[in-house]
Amino acid sequence: MKNIAIFASGAGSNAQKIIDHFRGSSLAKVTLILSNKAEAGIFKIAEREQIPAILIDKEQFFRGDTYIKLLEEAKTDLVVLAGFLWKVPANLVTAFPNRIINIHPALLPKFGGKGMYGHFVHEAVLAAGEKESGITIHYVNEKYDDGGVILQEKCIITEEDTPESLARKVQVLEHKWFPLIVERLLTQ
């Protein structure tokens, strides 16, 4: 049985889809949830799903190996960033080479980097006059949204689209593809 740790900063809809995907699975399960925001909806999901959840201490996250040890003790096979807004420190990336993945709500390398998350991404995509957007699932390295691409899926942008309607289109892709890619990576 493979162990998945999910880092999230928000409501946790992608985390929930991954939890649901592996419910009853003999391949893997979500064994740990970590968040940098005490009020994040992911904590309600963790409680409901009876998954241990930890509030990340910023100082310890960026200076030291507290969370590396925690993930190693939990026998973590894959770290999944599902709406996690902090850049992962180099020592954590080094400790889990090609075992940390992220999902970004645009077609990288466009519309990535610091501050490019959620509605900021969708507003930028529309302001640039793009004809399509989508998702990028990628490996995490020491830079924002820079690791090797695992999968990109696209959606069409219409003239009627708003940041909110584009967010809904992108979220459909996220919910469909993220659990499948997590499963694929765990079976390689």
Contact 182, 101 (CB under 8 A): yes
133 annotated ligand binder: no
Catalytic residue among 21, 104, 122, 138: 104
How many CB atoms lie under 10 A from the CB of residue 169?
19
Give the distance between the most distant pair of CA atoms in the chain.
50
102 annotated ligand binder: yes
- Write phi, then psi, for 87 (nearest 5 degrees): -75, 135
14 annotated ligand binder: yes
Any bridge partners for residue 139, and if so which? 101
12 annotated ligand binder: yes
Residues 81 and 144: their CA atoms lie apart, in Å, by: 12
Catalytic residue flag (residue 21):
no
Using alpha carbons, select from 6, 18, 180, 177 the residue that is nearest to residue 78: 6
154 annotated ligand binder: no
Binding-site members are 12-14, 58, 102
Binding-site members for (6R)-10-formyltetrahydrofolate are 58, 102
Catalytically annotated residues? 104
